[in-house]
Protein backbone atom coordinates (compact mmCIF):
# COMPACT_ATOMS: atom_id res chain seq x y z
CA UNK A 1 0.00 0.00 0.00
CA UNK A 2 2.71 2.47 0.95
CA UNK A 3 4.67 1.62 -2.18
CA UNK A 4 1.61 2.27 -4.33
CA UNK A 5 1.01 5.62 -2.61
CA UNK A 6 4.54 6.77 -3.28
CA UNK A 7 4.43 5.49 -6.86
CA UNK A 8 1.17 7.33 -7.42
CA UNK A 9 2.71 10.55 -6.11
CA UNK A 10 5.65 10.20 -8.47
CA UNK A 11 3.39 9.42 -11.42
CA UNK A 12 1.22 12.45 -10.64
CA UNK A 13 4.30 14.63 -10.43
CA UNK A 14 5.71 13.34 -13.71
CA UNK A 15 2.38 13.77 -15.49
CA UNK A 16 1.97 17.30 -14.19
CA UNK A 17 5.55 18.11 -15.03
CA UNK A 18 5.00 16.82 -18.54
CA UNK A 19 1.85 18.91 -18.87
CA UNK A 20 3.72 21.93 -17.57
CA UNK A 21 6.57 21.37 -20.01
CA UNK A 22 4.16 21.11 -22.94
CA UNK A 23 2.31 24.18 -21.75
CA UNK A 24 5.59 26.02 -21.48
CA UNK A 25 6.45 25.16 -25.06
CA UNK A 26 3.06 26.36 -26.27
CA UNK A 27 3.35 29.48 -24.16
CA UNK A 28 6.76 30.27 -25.60
CA UNK A 29 5.46 29.82 -29.14
CA UNK A 30 2.48 32.07 -28.50
CA UNK A 31 4.47 34.68 -26.58
CA UNK A 32 2.62 34.00 -23.31
CA UNK A 33 4.09 34.01 -19.80
CA UNK A 34 4.98 31.06 -17.57
CA UNK A 35 2.77 31.93 -14.59
CA UNK A 36 0.39 29.06 -15.27
CA UNK A 37 3.23 26.54 -15.57
CA UNK A 38 4.77 27.78 -12.33
CA UNK A 39 1.41 27.44 -10.64
CA UNK A 40 1.07 23.81 -11.72
CA UNK A 41 4.58 22.96 -10.58
CA UNK A 42 4.11 24.71 -7.23
CA UNK A 43 0.86 22.88 -6.62
CA UNK A 44 2.43 19.49 -7.28
CA UNK A 45 5.48 20.32 -5.14
CA UNK A 46 3.18 21.43 -2.32
CA UNK A 47 1.23 18.18 -2.46
CA UNK A 48 4.41 16.09 -2.39
CA UNK A 49 5.79 18.13 0.51
CA UNK A 50 2.56 17.61 2.46
CA UNK A 51 2.91 13.90 1.77
CA UNK A 52 6.26 13.77 3.57
CA UNK A 53 4.40 14.46 6.80
CA UNK A 54 2.37 11.28 6.25
CA UNK A 55 5.54 9.20 6.03
CA UNK A 56 7.18 11.06 8.93
CA UNK A 57 4.53 9.88 11.36
CA UNK A 58 5.07 6.34 10.11
CA UNK A 59 8.84 6.50 10.43
CA UNK A 60 9.30 5.78 6.74
CA UNK A 61 12.41 7.91 6.27
CA UNK A 62 13.63 6.45 2.95
CA UNK A 63 10.37 7.49 1.29
CA UNK A 64 10.66 10.99 2.74
CA UNK A 65 14.16 11.31 1.31
CA UNK A 66 12.88 10.06 -2.05
CA UNK A 67 10.14 12.68 -2.04
CA UNK A 68 12.59 15.38 -0.93
CA UNK A 69 14.75 14.60 -3.94
CA UNK A 70 11.78 14.79 -6.30
CA UNK A 71 10.69 18.08 -4.74
CA UNK A 72 14.11 19.73 -5.04
CA UNK A 73 14.44 18.47 -8.59
CA UNK A 74 11.21 20.29 -9.43
CA UNK A 75 11.95 23.33 -7.28
CA UNK A 76 15.71 23.69 -6.64
CA UNK A 77 15.10 26.77 -4.49
CA UNK A 78 12.87 25.07 -1.91
CA UNK A 79 15.35 24.92 0.98
CA UNK A 80 13.61 22.82 3.62
CA UNK A 81 13.68 19.49 1.71
CA UNK A 82 17.47 19.70 1.42
CA UNK A 83 17.75 20.15 5.19
CA UNK A 84 15.25 17.46 6.15
CA UNK A 85 16.50 15.04 3.51
CA UNK A 86 20.13 15.53 4.54
CA UNK A 87 19.30 15.14 8.22
CA UNK A 88 17.37 11.93 7.57
CA UNK A 89 20.24 10.56 5.49
CA UNK A 90 22.52 11.31 8.45
CA UNK A 91 20.16 9.51 10.81
CA UNK A 92 20.26 6.47 8.55
CA UNK A 93 24.07 6.52 8.57
CA UNK A 94 24.45 7.62 4.95
CA UNK A 95 26.80 10.53 5.59
CA UNK A 96 28.24 10.54 2.09
CA UNK A 97 24.85 11.09 0.47
CA UNK A 98 23.89 13.58 3.19
CA UNK A 99 26.97 15.67 2.46
CA UNK A 100 26.31 15.52 -1.28
CA UNK A 101 22.68 16.59 -0.80
CA UNK A 102 23.63 19.55 1.39
CA UNK A 103 26.19 20.59 -1.22
CA UNK A 104 23.56 20.32 -3.93
CA UNK A 105 21.42 22.68 -1.88
CA UNK A 106 24.29 25.18 -1.73
CA UNK A 107 25.00 24.86 -5.46
CA UNK A 108 21.37 25.63 -6.25
CA UNK A 109 21.09 28.36 -3.61
CA UNK A 110 24.53 29.97 -3.23
CA UNK A 111 23.07 33.14 -1.68
CA UNK A 112 21.12 31.46 1.13
CA UNK A 113 22.84 31.03 4.46
CA UNK A 114 20.46 28.25 5.51
CA UNK A 115 22.17 25.84 3.14
CA UNK A 116 25.68 26.69 4.32
CA UNK A 117 24.52 26.38 7.92
CA UNK A 118 23.08 22.91 7.23
CA UNK A 119 26.33 21.67 5.73
CA UNK A 120 28.49 23.38 8.34
CA UNK A 121 26.47 21.93 11.22
CA UNK A 122 26.76 18.49 9.60
CA UNK A 123 30.56 18.81 9.65
CA UNK A 124 30.53 20.21 13.18
CA UNK A 125 27.97 18.01 14.92
CA UNK A 126 27.95 14.76 12.95
CA UNK A 127 31.42 14.31 11.46
CA UNK A 128 33.27 16.44 14.04
CA UNK A 129 35.34 17.69 11.13
CA UNK A 130 35.99 21.14 12.53
CA UNK A 131 38.33 22.41 9.79
CA UNK A 132 35.60 21.76 7.22
CA UNK A 133 33.08 23.36 9.55
CA UNK A 134 35.26 26.46 9.74
CA UNK A 135 35.62 26.75 5.98
CA UNK A 136 31.87 26.30 5.49
CA UNK A 137 30.83 28.80 8.15
CA UNK A 138 33.37 31.29 6.81
CA UNK A 139 31.43 31.24 3.55
CA UNK A 140 28.14 31.21 5.44
CA UNK A 141 28.67 34.49 7.29
CA UNK A 142 29.48 36.27 4.03
CA UNK A 143 25.99 35.60 2.70
CA UNK A 144 23.61 38.54 3.02
CA UNK A 145 20.98 36.74 5.10
CA UNK A 146 23.42 35.23 7.62
CA UNK A 147 22.36 35.78 11.23
CA UNK A 148 23.72 35.43 14.75
CA UNK A 149 23.52 31.63 14.69
CA UNK A 150 25.80 31.42 11.66
CA UNK A 151 28.36 33.62 13.39
CA UNK A 152 28.12 31.63 16.63
CA UNK A 153 28.83 28.37 14.82
CA UNK A 154 31.85 29.95 13.14
CA UNK A 155 33.18 31.05 16.53
CA UNK A 156 32.62 27.62 18.08
CA UNK A 157 34.30 25.95 15.11
CA UNK A 158 37.34 28.20 15.52
CA UNK A 159 37.50 27.18 19.18
CA UNK A 160 37.58 23.49 18.32
CA UNK A 161 40.66 23.85 16.13
CA UNK A 162 42.47 26.12 18.55
CA UNK A 163 42.12 29.36 16.58
CA UNK A 164 41.28 31.35 19.69
CA UNK A 165 42.26 34.73 18.25
CA UNK A 166 39.82 34.18 15.39
CA UNK A 167 37.16 32.98 17.82
CA UNK A 168 37.59 36.15 19.89
CA UNK A 169 37.26 38.26 16.75
CA UNK A 170 34.10 36.41 15.78
CA UNK A 171 32.53 36.90 19.22
CA UNK A 172 33.37 40.60 19.04
CA UNK A 173 31.58 40.83 15.71
CA UNK A 174 28.58 39.07 17.22
CA UNK A 175 28.54 41.38 20.25
CA UNK A 176 28.66 44.42 17.97
CA UNK A 177 26.01 43.25 15.51
CA UNK A 178 23.72 41.39 17.89
CA UNK A 179 24.17 43.09 21.30
CA UNK A 180 21.19 41.33 22.90
CA UNK A 181 22.07 37.81 21.71
CA UNK A 182 22.27 35.33 24.60
CA UNK A 183 25.52 33.74 25.83
CA UNK A 184 27.73 36.09 23.82
CA UNK A 185 29.41 37.75 26.80
CA UNK A 186 30.04 34.40 28.44
CA UNK A 187 31.73 32.94 25.37
CA UNK A 188 33.66 36.10 24.57
CA UNK A 189 35.01 36.37 28.12
CA UNK A 190 35.90 32.68 28.15
CA UNK A 191 37.94 33.00 24.98
CA UNK A 192 39.50 36.29 26.08
CA UNK A 193 40.78 34.56 29.22
CA UNK A 194 42.13 31.69 27.16
CA UNK A 195 43.74 34.14 24.75
CA UNK A 196 45.40 36.02 27.62
CA UNK A 197 46.62 32.81 29.22
CA UNK A 198 48.22 31.72 25.98
CA UNK A 199 49.98 35.04 25.55
CA UNK A 200 51.23 34.92 29.13
CA UNK A 201 52.49 31.35 28.82
CA UNK A 202 56.25 30.97 28.17
CA UNK A 203 57.18 30.23 24.59
CA UNK A 204 59.13 27.15 23.47
CA UNK A 205 62.47 28.85 23.98
CA UNK A 206 61.60 30.02 27.49
CA UNK A 207 60.36 26.58 28.39
CA UNK A 208 63.56 25.03 27.11
CA UNK A 209 65.64 27.46 29.14
CA UNK A 210 63.89 26.35 32.31
133 located within any domain: yes
188 located within any domain: yes
130 located within any domain: yes
168 located within any domain: yes
Q: In terms of pLDDT, which residue wins out, 6 or 101?
A: 101
Query: What's the whole-number mean pLDDT along residues 20-39?
Result: 55
CB 113 within 8 A of CB 140: yes
Q: Is the pLDDT of residue 13 over 90?
A: no
How far is 191 from 200, CA to CA, in rounded Å? 14
The reported pTM is 0.80
CATH number of the domain at 119, please.
1.25.40.10
* 152-195 tens-digit pLDDT: 999 999 999 999 999 999 999 999 999 999 999 999 999 999 99
44 located within any domain: no
Separation of first and last alpha carbons in the chain: 76
* 79-138 tens-digit pLDDT: 999 999 999 999 999 999 999 999 999 999 999 999 999 999 999 999 999 999 999 999
40 located within any domain: no
Q: Quickly count: other Cβ atoms within 10 Å of residue 43's Cβ.
A: 12
42 located within any domain: no
Number of domains, the chain: 1
Domain holding 178, by residue range, is 112-201
Amino acid sequence: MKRSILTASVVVFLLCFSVAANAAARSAQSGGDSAQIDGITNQVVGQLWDRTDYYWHRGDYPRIVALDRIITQADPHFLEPYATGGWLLESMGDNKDAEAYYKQGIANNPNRSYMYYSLGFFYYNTLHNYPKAVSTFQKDVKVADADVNDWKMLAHSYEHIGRIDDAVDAWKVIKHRYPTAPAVDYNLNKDLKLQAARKAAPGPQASAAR
